[in-house]
Amino acid sequence: MRRFHIATDEEIKSGLTSDIYYIRTKEIIEKKNMNREVVAEISVGKLPRNWEWGVLCGIEELVYLYEGVSVDVFALPEGTIFPKRDINGIKVPLVEIIGRYGNFVSIETATLGFLCQASGVATAAARIKKLAKGKEVLAFGIRRMHPAISPMLDRAAYVGGFDGVSGILGAKLIGIKPAGTMPHTLILIFGDQASAWKAFDEVIDPSVPRIALVDTMWDEKYEGILAAETLKNKLNGIRLDTPGSRKGDFLEIIREVRWELNLRGYNHVKIYVSGGMDEKTVKTLAEGPVDGFGVGTWISNAPTIDFSMDIVEVEGKPISKRGKLSGRKKPWRCNSCYTWKVTPFNIDSIKCPNCGNDMIFMLRKYIEGGKIVGVLESPKEIREYVLKQLERYSLEDLD
C-alpha cells in the first residue's frame, strides 16, 4: 500500500511518471522500426510574471535521470542566468539530447518536471536576493508544499542565492545547517514570552543563534525590549512575524523597534522580518533597518517555468513542428556584457555584436552514451555562480 503519494527513484527512471502518450509513442516506433536518431532541445518561449531572465536549476537531477540511458546530453551549467530570447529574438536552447527517441521518450515528462519547477523557485529566489540588497534571506516555505519535494525546494532557493533554509533534509542535501528561530506555539505553551525565551536559551545548543520571536502577545516594540532585557548579550536578534491585520506601516514599526533597542544599548540585536514577504515587500523593507528576511510561500509557490522539449533534427536532417526553428544550434554568451546569441551548429566562433569580444559556447556535455562525463558542481559553487551573474542583471519589470 502506498501511504504517501510520491514516486520512487526507480518509478521515475522507468517511465511510470510519464504522460501515457509518450509510452504509446515508444511502443509504436519500436514495433514499426522507427526508433530514429533525433536531436531534441529544451527552450522556453516566455517567462512567468514578465520576468526578463531565469535561473536554470535541476540539472543535477536531470543528469542522474539520464545516467544509464543510451543518449548524449548537453546543457548550460546549472545556475546559468538565461534570457527569454537572444539578441535577435531567437529562443535559447538550454538542454540538448541526442539519441534514438525511443531510448528517452518515456522520461520526457520527468525531464521537463525536474527543470520547470526548480528553475522557477531558483529564479524567484534570485530576484528576492537581489531586492534584499545584500541582507540575509532565509527560505521558510516548505510547510506550504508537499513534504516529498522539500529538499528540492530548499536546494533551488539556496542555489538561487538564499543564505539559508529551514528544512532539515534540504539543509543536509545542500551541506549547511538548517536555519530557524521559534514558533508562536512555543510562547503560547509557556504562557509568557520571557519564560519561552529563557527555555530556548537553556535547552538549545549554544551554537544556534538566539533569535526571539517578538509579536505573539504584545506590541513589537515592547516585546523586543523585553527580549533584549531578558537575554541581554546572548540575544542575537529578534523576529517580527507581524500578521497582516496588525501590520499597518510595517517599515515604521521596524524603525520604531530599532530606535528603542539602540536607545537602550542593544545595537547588536539584529531585526529579522517574516510573514507574507514578496518582492514588493522585500524591496520596500530593504530600505529600512532590516537585517534579514524569512521568505516562505512566495518562493516555494513560485511559478514554474514553461520549458518545452522539441525535436529539431531526425536522422541528421533539420525538421521541427510549426513555431519552432529546426536544426541543431549553439547558444553563445559574451562574458563581458552578457549578451546572448544563438547560431546554427556549424558556427565555430563568434564575436559579440554589442562589445566585440569573443563569445563563449555555453552548452556543456554531461552524458555520453549513458555515462556521466560532466562535472556536477556543489550547491555552494552553483550559488556563487548565480550571485556573480546576478550583479549584472536588473529587475526591469519592477522599475
Q: Same domain, yes or no, for 61 and 144? A: no
In a domain, 84, yes or no: yes
> How many folded domains does the chain comprise?
2
Q: Same domain, yes or no, for 163 and 181? A: yes
In a domain, 125, yes or no: no
**Taking Cα atoms as reference points, which of 310, 358, 366, 308 lies closest to residue 332?**
358
Q: Same domain, yes or no, for 283 and 294? A: yes
In a domain, 226, yes or no: yes
**Taking Cα atoms as reference points, which of 151, 62, 172, 170 lies closest to residue 108?**
62
pLDDT in tens, the chain (399 residues): 889 999 999 999 999 999 999 999 999 999 999 999 999 999 998 999 999 999 999 999 999 999 999 999 999 999 999 998 999 999 999 999 999 999 999 999 999 999 999 999 999 999 999 999 999 999 999 999 999 999 999 999 999 999 999 999 999 999 999 999 889 999 999 999 999 999 999 999 999 999 999 988 888 999 999 999 999 999 999 999 877 767 778 999 999 999 999 999 999 999 999 999 999 999 999 999 999 999 999 999 999 999 999 999 999 999 999 999 999 999 999 999 999 999 999 999 999 999 999 999 999 999 999 999 999 999 999 999 999 999 999 886 555
In a domain, 88, yes or no: yes
- What is the predicted pLDDT for the residue at 216? 87
In a domain, 2, yes or no: no
Tell me which of 262, 284, 300 is where a domain ends: 300
H/E stretch holding 271 reads strand 270-274
pTM: 0.95
**Where does residue 185 rank: exposed (0-12), middle (13-18), buried (19+ CB within 10 A)?**
exposed
Q: Same domain, yes or no, for 147 and 290? A: yes
The bridge status of strand 136-139 relative to strand 292-295 is parallel
Q: Same domain, yes or no, for 267 and 285? A: yes
Query: CATH number, domain at 113?
Result: 3.20.140.10
- What is the predicted pLDDT for the residue at 397? 57
Residue type, 139: A
In a domain, 127, yes or no: no
Angle 195-200-205 from CA coordinates, rounded to 5° = 155
- What is the predicted pLDDT for the residue at 146? 96
Q: Same domain, yes or no, for 309 and 289? A: no
Identify the residue whose cell numbers are 533554509.
165
Q: Are 8 and 110 in contact (CB under 8 A)?
A: no
Q: 364 is in which domain, residue-wise?
A: 9-120+303-398
**Alpha carbon distance 260, 258 (integer Å):** 6
